[in-house]
Structure 1
């Protein structure tokens, strides 16, 4: 038994929708329904049947008002493309045409004075170009005359407590943005790491034997290892 209705897509310059129509209605009756859907007046409608996958491929035109929709062999999920032949007298295209819309423009000076803008947010939170300036990567690195492998003693605030060890690293690090750091392997486990800071290994030594200090705290010389008797400090 042949179907009495058909499901199609109705497309115009401003609309696109899915509709069901009786195949026995005439093209004239269809146009009356399509005017309510698309806003295109009946006298100005030109209806084309297109393949569902290609709106530009016209299968047939509904040219005779007294013919039924079924006469043209319209199938499910095809497209009824409604073209306005006289758009100057209707609203067709006005919903998508922004050429006549007055644009709101704000001068740079007025925008800079607003407190609810993205610019104001960036200024308040020091984001982007308003962020604090860091030392450029091209800034010359001061020369430090501390040879890797040399014996050294690190400045200590405790009297008669000598922090002695061997220089294992001299250079810039990822954990500090500027300046030179000296990595030292202590003779005793009085350090803070094993040469690794923030998952980056700068040198290798035993646990708690490594430390990083600024160059001005390091004294280079022929310092023999000095054993620290930790047992004397235990009760």
Structure 2
């Protein structure tokens, strides 16, 4: 019998797949989950579900001294980490926008910058800046380098924010006129799971998918930017 289990960890702001030793106590697990979810140890309430559709948990990890094996934890179960006091936690601070100074950049200021996706499009005459023969061509044309599987970065007005991902769909859609580019982001900064209004155009996890016009897409060898919380002890 395996002494480890691969589970999904879900919290108010995160979702990831992790492997844990079944000999870990609940207290040791909470220490690890604080790094993964941002929820302080003292604020964590952990429920175990067999599937995402379950309404009642299979177990509640409420004894810090017990090992995970005591609760019968097994592969592919879901650890739902609830935040009992979000106002004092890192995740709560992220969710409370009143505590964050809003960064604003006018369209005019953004247009004058030379280090943006917009400037790149203008210089290389890509997207809406490309010379078009007629209105119909402008509506449906996609640059040759925007193709499924290509790494990309999506234009954003927020300084220092890199919304990177992989092109998963290129072409016309049922939700709007013209051609669209479907992207799977590296991080959950999207709006869907690759589907819009019941139509599935590509597959990805919820909030990782987005559809944009090609003029907002810059193709290149963009590395994945992420925080790695993997524990060498696991």
Q: Normalising to structure 2: TM-score of the pair?
A: 0.42
Q: In proportion to residue count, which structure has more helix?
A: 2
